[in-house]
Structure 1
Amino acid sequence: MIVVFVTACVALSYAAAGLPGHLNMISGLAASRRHPGILYAIQDNAGDGNVYMLDATDGSVKGVLIVQHGEEADWEDIAVGPCPDGDSCIYIADSGNTKHKSSNVVYRVKEPDYTFTQDIPLTGKYHYTWNHPMSESLMVDAAGNVFILSEATGTGSTLGQLPSSGWTSGSQAAVKTVLTLPITTANKGPLAADISPDGKQLLIKTLDHVYVWSMPDMNVKKALSHPGKAIHGYHPEHRGEAIAWSADGHGFYTEGEGSNEKLHFHSFP
């Protein structure tokens, strides 16, 4: 299958000062719905079970969420979406294979009332099975449906959906493979994905490219059945594995891995 993409343009609005030195393996970003100007960030392979609250303008750490009973083997992506009770929740995918086998777990916690360092309890823990060895990308749509993307080189990455029953069954749930993505990656990917806060746009990031889909009916499967737009003007970071829509949906943040990597904001003209 040959996929031809049209392009959409972005402008790099700013690159914040380098993140603190210990945050050198950022694997996921997500914009808070409750706290304007705050991004949630996780590190892969850190093993600390922490979610870092970053100032979106300068990259400084405002506080740390210490996830209770949230073990970390290889956290790969993070998303913000609705909780079952209608509140706002943070979703964390422990879906990497650093230890040669993915934990296949998604954690869910409520967004905190405040941004200082605090313990935060789990409100959900989802164990799943899938016929793919790992995923580096997590998305949550406006209805609270959770999606993951399998890792592949070239073509063959697939979209999987976690059945909602898995949050309450207490046993492993089988991920439903929905479709094969209409993208080609030169390296293993996708590495990150995010759905906009209004639920009407979708981003997927590979090592060197970012793609965007319009999703006016908020239907992820329908949107990804067609090619998206390749973002023109995005300049890849070193080992960049993180992407997040801004809270207003007017642009997105990216972040690379390594010492003194900068937080980048890209705006849509």
Structure 2
Amino acid sequence: MTVQLLLALISCVAAQTTGPQFQNGKVNGYIEETFIDEASGLAASRLHDGILYTQNDHGDAPHIYAINSSDASLVSILTISGAENHDWEDLAVGPCTQGSSTFCIYIADTGYSSANDDEANIIYRVQEPTSLTDEHQTLNVDSTLRFSWNEEESQALMVDPQANVYLISNVRSGRGMVVKLPQVWGQAVPTPVSSSTFLPILTTHHDPTAADISPDGKRLLVKAKSHVFYWSVPDGDYLAAVTKPPIELPYIHESLGEAICWDDKGEAYFTLGEGHFKPLYEYLPVNVIV
């Protein structure tokens, strides 16, 4: 049996494995702002109920957009002072440091354009704003984590409850490298990273395009262009968890879908695609009555 056939069988079995049950996606609203046209990341706020953060990838200024998860309306534009958007591919929200009660937004400047720029391959850490009452506000970079590797790019960033940062490389077939970054915040010289852990999936595109760890750390989502995969991680060992076959969850295909996140309770998940006037989809557990 070839490796390709084995991986295809794994993906087929995973889709039929018993696991959490979610309803098909429902449209909560549409992104009306034309300047949000390459939404490549999505993350749920831990300080503000019903708020999601998103960002454009390469070509935009260093902006994060706070949107309302119930109708996709824009709440605030956050300008990140001290950062540059070479190719921002994903966002995550988690504690700023292990044991901290302060939450940060993590920004992955890790796209293809970043890999070809000596000043990029950076994770920016920015403290969540305590208020979103202003339509425009500026946030300062709290710290940066610089790294180097042999992968062309990553579009999938995750942060666990202990403030550990994970990336998954974006490769043809989706079998990306999963790496846990060392906690070397603030170093000017990039730290080389590598891993022997690869996703056990098989796709026909360059994947994955996004990922997220639930706020309690026990659930993991990985989004490919045409699929959403799920792993249960009861012990917090994400590298070990992703070596096992995933469960496939409902997903309404988006032509350029590159963003996914859990809600702030880790119960439902959202997806958002690139382009103008894209819908924000919410996938609720089956026991929720809409």
TM score, norm. by length of structure 1? 0.95
Which residue identity lines up with residue 14 of structure 2 in the other structure? F
For 1:34 and 1:99, the matched residues in 2 are separated by: 30
Q: What residue number does 1:11 align with?
A: 23
The alignment covers a number of residue pairs equal to 267
For 1:156 and 1:204, the matched residues in 2 are separated by: 12
- Report the 3-state secondary structure (helix = DSSP H, G, I; strand = E; otherwise coil) of the residue aligned with 2:186: helix
Which residue identity lines up with residue 245 of structure 2 in the other structure? P
For 1:207 and 1:156, the matched residues in 2 are separated by: 13
Distance 1:100 1:197, change over 3 A: closer
1:55 aligns with 2:68: yes
For 1:263 and 1:174, the matched residues in 2 are separated by: 36
Considering only aligned residues, what root-mean-square deviation do their CA atoms show, in Å? 1.5
- Report the 3-state secondary structure (helix = DSSP H, G, I; strand = E; otherwise coil) of the residue aligned with 2:248: strand
Per-residue CA distance 1:23-45 (angstroms, 9 max, x = gap) = 11100000001101000101112
Q: What residue number does 2:266 align with?
A: 249
Which residue identity lines up with residue 276 of structure 2 in the other structure? S
Tell me, yes or no, if the aligned pair for 1:182 and 1:226 is still in contact at 8 Å. yes
Gaps of 5+ in 2: none
1:225 aligns with 2:243: yes
Q: What residue number does 1:94 align with?
A: 109
Tell me, yes or no, if the aligned pair for 2:114 and 2:121 is still in contact at 8 Å. no
Q: What residue number does 2:141 align with?
A: 122
1:175 aligns with 2:184: no
Report how far residue 100 of structure 1 moved: 6.8
1:258 aligns with 2:275: yes
Distance 1:112 1:220, change over 3 A: same
- Report the 3-state secondary structure (helix = DSSP H, G, I; strand = E; otherwise coil) of the residue aligned with 2:274: coil
Report how far residue 105 of structure 1 moved: 0.7
Per-residue CA distance 1:13-69 (angstroms, 9 max, x = gap) = 531222022211100000001101000101112331001000001111100111011
TM score, norm. by length of structure 2? 0.88
For 1:100 and 1:180, the matched residues in 2 are separated by: 20
Q: Which runs of 4+ in 1 moved over 3 A?
A: 6-9
Q: What residue number does 1:21 align with?
A: 34
Q: What residue number does 1:31 align with?
A: 44
Tell me, yes or no, if the aligned pair for 1:153 and 1:184 is still in contact at 8 Å. no
Distance 1:267 1:98, change over 3 A: same
Q: What residue number does 1:239 align with?
A: 256
Higher strand share: 1
Higher helix share: 2
Identity of aligned residues (%): 35
Q: What residue number does 1:105 align with?
A: 122
For 1:253 and 1:39, the matched residues in 2 are separated by: 9
Q: What residue number does 1:212 align with?
A: 230
